[in-house]
Structure 1
Amino acid sequence: MHGQRAHPSRAHAPARARVTPGGLLTGLLRTTRPKQWVKNTLVVAAPAAAGRLFSVPALGRLALTFALFTACAAAVYLINDARDAEADRAHPVKCRRPVAAGQVPVPVAYAAGGLLAVLAPLLAARLTPPLVPVLLTAYLGMQLAYCVALKHVLVVDLVVVTTGFLMRAMIGGVALGIPLSRWFLITTGFGALFMVAAKRYSEAVQMAGKAGATRALLTEYTTGYLRFVWQLAAGVAVLAYCLWALEGHAGPATGLLPWRQLSMVAFILAILRYAVFADRGTAGEPEDVVLRDRALALIGLAWLAMYGLAVAHW
């Protein structure tokens, strides 16, 4: 007798899940990547820098902005997973995503994503300043273009992901009518590019010599180029932050200690500590890197404390 052999293309494919109302809702929630929502807390960055964070009206508007941005990001994830369902089913890890596994039908994912993509900017147009829905619409357009084509274009893919982080940091200031300084934008933009390039570099290092990179574009980047990008971005971010910290302080200090200048030490230490993981090729999702390394988390808390004291003029 001859033994039966599994079809190679189905080696990693999970059994199709039976769709139930409860399973569908759970699958839709999982597809929106709740773990990634922590990135959207960047909406408080500009208000915190301006000392406008601790008032009830500001917190209410920021909570609304956070929810609207999260809805837009969720829309992108839903549409992306619906579009990539067939390709994901052939991937050893992505095949477990709810849409690829059949827990969420493709038409339902498209419908839910489209609904969120329409409702979020409309609600923003009614409840927030005019520039907020403009930014949300621009974010949606850019991210959907990334899903369709831009993620296959060298360098542009890095720029699009970095700009997504920058938009998160900008939209909180826009929602509260806070002018955004050039140093804030440069530091945030290049800090985001540092983390994005470090993640790509880590993926490239881990996939070196293996077939089937998790991102097709990784085969077109060299690890040397990606290392250059994250090192350049780290240098520009540090320089911009230091220029901000030292700017306009010729007069007497207004606080107990020069917290603004002292925060440079913590900021540089945080960059150097993060670079350790980038250099090792283990810098994955930024939130995972920070939360899994106690030293980096403590440095981050120290920076937040000094930054807060500087803003409060203590």
Structure 2
Amino acid sequence: MKDHIALMRPKQYLKNCFVFAPLFFAMPIDHPELLIRSLLAFLVFSITASAVYILNDYGDIETDRLHPKKKFRPLAAGKVSGISALFLSAGLLLTSVAICLAFLNTQVLALILLYLVINVIYTLKLKHISLIDIFIISTGFVIRLFVGSYASGLDLSYSIILMTFLLSLFLAFAKRRDDVLILMETGHKMRKNISGYNLEFIDSAMSMVSSIILVAYIMYTISPEIIAKHHTDKLYLTSVFVILGILRYKQITLINKNSGVPTEILMKDKFIQLSIAFWITSFLLIKYAARWFI
């Protein structure tokens, strides 16, 4: 049972918090039922993501056995059989569909199925094509946003969609950097497409993407639409914590050379945790106590 739970990668559920982004940026405190629907959306996407992780691990058994960390995954280590893993994946997918039909709506179900189809194609073919692979990963984060939006009935701004795509692209590049380092140190290719990346390319891409993220966020906070929506023109102050968070992640990636598992970094690095906590706190304080900052 323990190995089957590990196979579902519950630690990766942290990524699915993007489902709550529409709720956070809209902050409809007078409609608590939207939180319940967002929580259901989070549950549905987490279950679906687990099913996809299992399919991906099933297709990567041989390459994972060569990876210094992934070789300990249940399928690669032989702790869970392939048939058992596939049955678990199918059961998770059926559960996800049932929850959508019973408590959410067909739009969320359609997005869940789209996410599944994209990831099946990714597992079979697209993950072997450099650049396309990380763009597919980033698309998955945007789908998370729309799942939260359709579940809660809250609109998404173009800026949030763009920043989410770029942030996930930044994290994906950092992850590929870790694969390049493993290739340089061991001579083992963790991915067939790794020859399409090198340190110079990834470092320049990360710098470019991180710069665009920061500009996009600042432009978002000072846009007339957002100022009118949140009734304050002081949200730009929160950009300090966004800058700190991104710089810290680049420090971990470029200096510590430890960017293979983004969720582990977010769960263990106190600096990033504090940056996120202060960003959320400052955002809420400025929105609801804007007069303190005038």
Structure 1 outlier segments of 4+, above 6 Å? 249-255
Distance 1:143 1:254 in 2: 36
* Larger CA deviation: 205-214 vs 168-177: 205-214
For 2:51, the equivalent position in structure 1 comes to 75
TM-score normalised over the length of structure 1:
0.83
Structure 1: gaps spanning 5 or more residues = 1-24
Once the two structures are superposed, what CA deviation does each residue of 1:75-129 show, in whole Å capped at 9, x if it has no partner? 1122222333345446554343222333322111112112322331343133213
Structure 2: gaps spanning 5 or more residues = none
Residues 1:263 and 2:203 aligned together: no
For 1:309, the equivalent position in structure 2 comes to 285
Give the superposed CA RMSD. 2.5
1:49/1:311 contact within 8 Å kept: no
Larger radius of gyration: 1
Residues 1:56 and 2:39 aligned together: no
Aligned letter for 2:155? P
For 1:275, the equivalent position in structure 2 comes to 250
Query: Mapping of 1:1-314 within 5 angstroms?
Result: 25-52=1-28, 55-89=31-65, 93-248=69-224, 258-280=233-255, 281-312=257-288, 314=290
What percentage of aligned pairs have identical amino acids? 27
| CA distance 1:311–1:188, change in 2 (3 Å) | farther
| Superposed displacement of residue 180, structure 1 | 0.8
| Superposed displacement of residue 209, structure 1 | 4.3
Q: As a proportion of its length, which structure holds more helix?
A: 2
2:244/2:275 contact within 8 Å kept: yes
Distance 1:197 1:169 in 2: 20
For 1:10, the equivalent position in structure 2 comes to none
Aligned letter for 1:197? F
1:44/1:53 contact within 8 Å kept: no
Once the two structures are superposed, what CA deviation does each residue of 1:178-201 show, in whole Å capped at 9, x if it has no partner? 111111111111111111112212
Distance 1:56 1:252 in 2: 23
Q: SS in structure 1 opposite 2:146?
A: helix
Count of equivalent residues: 289
| CA distance 1:305–1:253, change in 2 (3 Å) | same
| Superposed displacement of residue 231, structure 1 | 1.5
* Larger CA deviation: 118-127 vs 266-275: 118-127
| Superposed displacement of residue 288, structure 1 | 2.5
TM-score normalised over the length of structure 2:
0.88
| CA distance 1:245–1:125, change in 2 (3 Å) | same
Distance 1:217 1:313 in 2: 50
* Larger CA deviation: 64-73 vs 263-272: 263-272
2:63/2:190 contact within 8 Å kept: no
| CA distance 1:254–1:285, change in 2 (3 Å) | closer
1:158/1:196 contact within 8 Å kept: yes
Q: SS in structure 2 opposite 1:216?
A: coil
